[in-house]
Homo-oligomer: A and B are copies of this chain.
C-alpha cells in the first residue's frame, strides 16, 4: 500500500529521480541520531546534468527556481533512500542550504531557492517548512546554476 507521502507525490504528478550513487569518498547522505544530512544536490535528471549557467546572465530567476526544484527532487530522492524507501518515516524538513551560481550584484537568491522550498511544502505539507540560507556563489560544480543541501528529521 502506498504511503501518505507517496500518494501525495502521485497526486502532484511528481516522479522522484533515482537517488544518485556516491561518486567518491563522500556519500549522498549520512544518518546521525534522527537527522539525515543530505549532500549538496545538483540538478541531475536521468543521470544527466540539467540547468547549467549563471543566473542573471544565462539563466532567468524563474528558470533558476525550476532548477532549484530539480535539486530538491534529488534531495527528497536521497531522503527516501535513507528511509529505506518509506518517506512516511520523515518527521520534517529541518534545513535547506541554497547556493546560486550568479553574476555579481544579483539579488534574487531567495526567489531562486523558493523553487526548492516550495516543493518541500507541496510534498510534506507543514512538515516541509524549514530553516534555510540562500546565498550567491561565483561558480558551482560542473557549471550548474543551483546547488542545494538539506537536513531531514526522522520520526
Contacts and interface: CB of A to CB of B under 8 A. Distances in A.
Nearest to A34: B33
B141 A107 contact: yes
A47 interface: no
Contacts of A23: 110
B141 A26 contact: no
Given A33-B34, A37-B95, A95-B37, A28 B131 contact: yes
B94 A134 contact: no
Interface residues of A, number: 61
B137 A25 contact: no
Interface of A: 22-30, 32-35, 37-40, 54, 92, 94-97, 99-110, 113-114, 117-118, 120-121, 128-143, 147, 149, 151, 153
Contacts of A92: 30, 32
A131 B35 contact: no
Contact of A37 (B94, B136, B138, B140): B94
Nearest to A95: B37
B135 A25 contact: no
Given A24-B117, A104-B138, A140-B135, A94 B39 contact: no
Given A92-B30, A109-B139, A141-B109, A131 B24 contact: no
B133 A97 contact: yes
Contacts of A109: 139-141
